[in-house]
Amino acid sequence: PQAIFRKDYVAPGYWVDTVEMGFDLDLDATHVATRLTMRRNPDSAEKDLVLFGAELKTLQLRLNGVNLKKSAYTIDGETMRIPNAPDEVVLEIETLIKPSKNTSLSGLYASNGNFITQCEAEGFRKITWFPDRPDVMAKYTVVLRADKKKFPVLLGNGNLIEQGDLGDGRHFAKWEDPFKKPSYLFALVAGSLVCQEEQYKLGSGREVLLQVWVEKGNLDKTQHAMDSLKNSIRWDEERFGLELDLDRFMIVATSDFNMGAMENKGLNIFNTKYVLANPSIATDVDYAGIESVVGHEYFHNWTGNRVTCRDWFQLSLKEGLTVFRDQEFSADLVGTSTGRAVKRIEDVRVLRQVQFSEDAGPMAHPVRPDSFVEINNFYTVTIYEKGSEVVRMYYTLLGHEGFRKGMDLYFARHDGQAVECDDFRAAMSDANGRDLTQFERWYSQAGTPRVDVQTHYDAAAQTFEITLSQSCPATPGQTEKLPFHIPVAMGLLNSAGQDMPLHCEGYEAQAGVNSLVLELTAASQTFRFTQVTEQPVASLLRNFSAPVVLNISYSDEELGLLLAHDSDPFNRWEAGQRLATRRLVRLTQAVQAGEPLELDSMFIEALRATLNNDTLDPAFRELVLTLPSEAMIAEEFEVVDPQAIHTARQFARAQISQHLRADLLSAYEQHLTPGKFSPDAVSMAKRSLKNLALSYLLEWVDESTFELAKTQFYDAENMTDRLAALAGISNFRGQPQQQKVAAKALQHFYKEFKKEALVIDKWFMLQATAHTTDVAKVRELMTHKAFTLGNPNRARSLTFNFCNANPAQFHATDGSGYALWAELVIALNKINPQVAARLARSLDRWKKYPLHLQEKMRAALEKVAATKKLSKDVAEVVTKALA
């Protein structure tokens, strides 16, 4: 497949001022009439009028009132070129599309008999011919016409300006969006839907209408999304001075959606997973997910919609910034400083586990890529999560006020424009009078930088030196890397674990401030501290101030001190993870060598002290007590042995269970949350620690804890407790009689929730990730009547979870997991290339496995690569993996 390059950007030959569209909605054949007023862009090197279209039946093309003859244009793939067009053009286009046949869920498609659109990134071209690129911004007026009974609700972007009957059982609605927007933000929804609505008063006093639209029967699950929306509106006003610019803001939930949600102007469309919640179907994690995704899409209204991307290489301009904003929103809502740290730790865990892995694999790319084959493959953790870390580094370097000044200047300069990542950096730099030239490398260089640390204490001179040396591994197409501008937040701890005053040469000392942001800009730099009265322990990269790997050799005692005392909660947690990782690596090596396994008491006692420390937030304790995942342990090895890692980690869990049994039982009992369910931070924290205690207790085979889990499962009144108990029961290594109880519980769960699609997704997910679920079991589950590859949520719940989150079984030595993977990718490729390409990524890191597994993975990759009619989405992923 053909790659396109950032360096080849050419401004559009024509601008579009207005777009008028009429839709005659019919599931089998929708007629679309479009009228574009266009004018030549005198500043462009492109002289032709260029439009894009895909899978369209074109009925009519008229330019300035005259039918376009076939000889007047050329079509090559998705690109139509009209040469010699006048400077001012009115283009009228009629197309016919087939929503019910559209299984790719891009463009206009059908979901449970309703019409839904998804236009980002290039779905608008499946509706009509258009200069479908984000730098072409226009004003849209749209008329929707449809059967009134089947499609009583007709929604579009912006404001509803007219509606009425058409007389023949059909009706219409006319929507006008007052703001210029790129075509990827276009949306329509039509069908049988109901809504929860509310008038909401903005900070300025203006009243707006908020609506959450769902299918019938789901109105009891919309309150949390509505609350999250109101919180988002208030937060953006307070934190960034950004007000909702429309009179109406709508959210629509659909169960057929490729991603989490979409920020279409005034008409956000969501995967049901990020809207629907009540205590009996949604877990605490779901509640938190809804809050952050509702926030994320709402925040796009300014960062993405009002100021958009010049081209898709700039995707992180909107996505990285908006992820940063949604992370800050969720952290601010919790309010407490440990609450913020808990959120930060959760976010960093995802970054390290998924993005660091992407950065070390064949799909590694810079935050602002230089090329791609299929843009849909670049909605990645690098663009989103690493992009957010890049934005967070401005925040760390410039401070709260400085960052806000930068944001204000960004909007003052670019409101209504389509811009580049460099424009954001320039705003941050200019607003603060700071030279951020070198910072550009965070956008242009892929790979996770390493920072090696050497320290030296001179007791006589009372000086302490920290030498930081940075490097960055080669990534595809980038062998040499230049030094990054890395903010390293830090402090020094004395032997009692207290922060010491900081006097660093070249940095101004601030009374009472015991944390400093060092700026590492050279390949190697030494920072010298004076008046250091005793040998300190350095706490570096506090709050994970940069997305790097920090190599520092701490002793167990130093880590113990940091875990017990660091004033930075992130580094407290980090110290615990370092202690755990060290042990899990050793245990894995022991498993491989057939040596006896042992877990030392220093580690167990450190965990016991944390577990029993009632001054600590239970959510924080839960994070410290959670061992690094198997995927994280795998990153410590040159060659990964998934089964040995699994055995080692399970051994450690069983040891913790055995030695902390009494403490775990008491933690369980102390953190019960009787009474009405509430998804507030305090109750969630209690549930998380209680359920972690339960999962540990179940690692040590014991009748009474099994009974505890069984009782929790049958008595629970909320999904968090119920699912945690079910997961525990189904992973229990007990007698056949207990396995029967587990099978019965699973059946019971299915029966109770068979009408709740999102809960059945959990039912598949839980089985996909169970230790005992092998390839044969997955194949059996795929024949279950509730399973289908046609629905992305359902496909992901079983197959993605097995391939990505059950490594010891997926990497079965006979290669059966890879054969299943190949079959699934090939099957999905026909239905939904975007989803297929996501699953294709499961073999990205195949070169990290032993040769006998590598051979089988290569064969599976080659099988997919050789498939006829392979989409460019899947082709790009497997070609890069095999390169």
Binding residues vs ligand HT7 (CB under 6 A) = 118, 120-121, 258-259, 261-263, 296-297, 300, 319, 376, 379, 834
Lookup: tokens for 337: 């400083």
| Per-residue contact string for residues 305-324; x = within reach of Zn ion by CB under 5 A | --------------x--x--
Of 311 and 319, which has the nearer Cβ to Zn ion?
319
Is 263 tagged catalytic?
Answer: no
CB of 618 to ligand HT7, least distance (A): 31
Could you say which of Zn ion, ligand HT7, none residue 799 binds, taking C-beta under 5 to 8 angstroms by partner kind? none
Could you give the CA distance from residue 5 to residue 62 in angstroms, rounded to a whole number? 32
Give the Cα separation of 686 and 694 in Å (integer). 12
Q: How far apart are CA 134 and CA 317, in angstroms?
A: 13
Q: Which of 616, 610, 500 is nearest to 560 (CA)?
A: 610
Cα 565 off chain centre by:
32
**Considering CB distances under 5 to 8 angstroms, the limit depending on partner class, which of ligand HT7, Zn ion, none binds residue 795?**
none
From the list 297, 374, 574, 635, the catalytic residue is 297
Q: What is the C-alpha to C-alpha distance for residues 702 and 116, in angstroms, rounded to an integer?
A: 51
Closest Cα to residue 210, out of 231, 180, 190? 231
Q: Which is nearer to ligand HT7, 131 or 304 (CB)?
A: 304
- Residue with smaller CB distance to ligand HT7, 270 or 403: 270
Nearest one of 823, 819, 829 to 872, comparing CA atoms: 829
Choose the contact partner of 650 out of Zn ion, ligand HT7, none; CB within 5 to 8 A by kind. none
The residue whose Cβ lies closest to ligand HT7 is 259
Query: Buried b / exposed e across 251-276, counting CB within 10 Å, b at 16+?
Result: bbbbbbbbbebbbbbbbbbbbbbbbb
Binder of residue 120, out of ligand HT7, Zn ion, none (CB less than 5 to 8 A by kind): ligand HT7
Q: What is the closest distance, in whole angstroms, from the C-beta atom of residue 390 to ligand HT7 in the complex?
A: 16
Nearer to ligand HT7, 116 or 599 (CB): 116
Among ligand HT7, Zn ion, none, partner that 542 touches (CB below 5 to 8 angstroms by kind) = none
Q: Which does 259 bind (CB under 5 to 8 A by kind): ligand HT7, Zn ion, none?
A: ligand HT7
Min separation Cβ 118 and ligand HT7, Å: 5
Q: Provide, rounded to whole angstroms, the least separation between the CB of residue 486 and Zn ion.
A: 26
Which residue number, 322 or 388, has a Cβ lying nearer to Zn ion? 322
Number of residues that bind Zn ion (CB under 5 A): 2
Q: Please, are residues 854 and 813 in contact by the beta-carbon 8 Å criterion?
A: no
| Tokens coding 775 | 């390839």
Number of H helices, E strands in the chain: 29, 31
Strands annotated E in 303-449: 308-309, 371-372, 418-419
- Which of Zn ion, ligand HT7, none has residue 258 at its interface (CB below 5 to 8 Å by kind)? ligand HT7
Residues 713-752 that bind Zn ion (CB under 5 A): none
Give 319 or 774: the residue with its C-beta nearer to Zn ion. Answer: 319
Contact 565/571 with Cβ under 8 angstroms? no
Can you state the angle between helices 337-350 and 315-334, rounded to 10 degrees? 140
Q: Could you tell me the smallest distance in angstroms from the CB atom of residue 318 to ligand HT7?
A: 7
Name the residue among 775, 867, 881, 866 with its Cα closest to residue 828: 867
Residue bearing tokens 């005198």: 42
With CB under 5 to 8 Å by kind, the binding choice for 121 among Zn ion, ligand HT7, none is ligand HT7
Task: Retrieve residue 98's tokens.
Answer: 């087939």
Closest contact distance (angstroms) between CB of 300 and ligand HT7 is: 6
- In the three-class reduction of DSSP (H, G, I as helix; E, B as strand; rest coil), residue 6 is classed as helix
Residue (183 or 655) nearer to ligand HT7, CB: 183
Strand partners, 176: 141, 159
Q: State the sign of the Cα–Cα–Cα–Cα dihedral 286, 115, 175, 57.
A: positive
The footprint of Zn ion on residues 317-356 (CB under 5 A) is 319, 322
Provide the minimum distance between the beta carbon of 512 and ligand HT7 in the complex, in angstroms, as a whole number: 40
Beta carbon nearer to ligand HT7, 93 or 262: 262
- The answer to whether 95 and 58 are in contact (CB under 8 A) is yes
Question: At its nearest, how many Å lie between ligand HT7 and the CB of residue 122?
Answer: 9
Q: Which residues are catalytically annotated?
A: 297
The footprint of Zn ion (CB under 5 A) covers 319, 322
